């Protein structure tokens, strides 16, 4: 599998490139049956919540789909996501304007989930850097979040 679906701070293509992940195409994608929650405890900032993809009937999580230059590129992202301790990497089906595809994404592990967190402003800024790939409504929602 050569795709990575980002729904958190990695929606910022510059951030992904700076992390040394090779990709040659970026497009908008949606994950039906999911929502984004800021419930994954930050490893470095007390009280801060990072994005987690959670199941929600009727939900749609928007994100950025990266076409990786090699199927092995996703392994480089594991260390940034703290996989397998903080997040687990799993395949999901996502929709693009060009059709459906399978992509890797990350789910927060139960041991690091706390529903009483808020995202840091710097984290949401990385998310809104994906604006060219997100709907106006999704960007408005991100900008309306109460941050720490």
pLDDT tens-place string over residues 46-101:
999 999 999 999 999 999 999 999 999 999 999 999 999 999 999 999 999 999 99
> How many angstroms separate the CA atoms of 77 and 80, rounded?
5
Segment 128-142 shows an average pLDDT of 98
**Cα–Cα nearest to 10, from 31, 26, 32, 24:** 26
Pick the CATH number of 3-144 from 3.40.50.1000, 3.40.50.970, 3.60.20.10, 3.10.490.10: 3.10.490.10
Report the pLDDT value the prediction gives residue 51, as an integer from 0 to 100: 98
Report the pLDDT value the prediction gives residue 28, as an integer from 0 to 100: 98
Kindly state the DSSP code that residue 48 receives in the 8-state scheme.
B
pLDDT tens-place string over residues 90-105:
999 999 999 999 999 9
């Amino acid at each position: 599998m050569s795709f990575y679906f980002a729904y958190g701070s990695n929606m910022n293509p510059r951030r992904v490139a700076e992390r040394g992940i090779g990709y040659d195409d970026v497009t908008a994608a949606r994950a039906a049956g999911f929502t984004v929650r800021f419930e994954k405890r930050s490893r470095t900032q007390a009280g801060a919540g990072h994005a987690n993809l959670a199941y929600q009937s009727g939900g749609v999580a928007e994100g950025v789909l990266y076409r990786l230059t090699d199927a092995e590129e996703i392994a480089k992202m594991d260390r940034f996501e703290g996989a397998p301790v903080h997040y687990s990497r799993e395949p999901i089906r996502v929709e693009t304007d060009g059709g459906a595809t399978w992509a890797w994404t990350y789910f927060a592990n139960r041991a690091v989930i706390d529903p009483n967190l808020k995202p840091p402003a710097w984290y949401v800024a990385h998310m809104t850097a994906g604006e060219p790939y997100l709907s106006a409504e999704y960007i408005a929602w991100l900008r309306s979040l109460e941050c720490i």
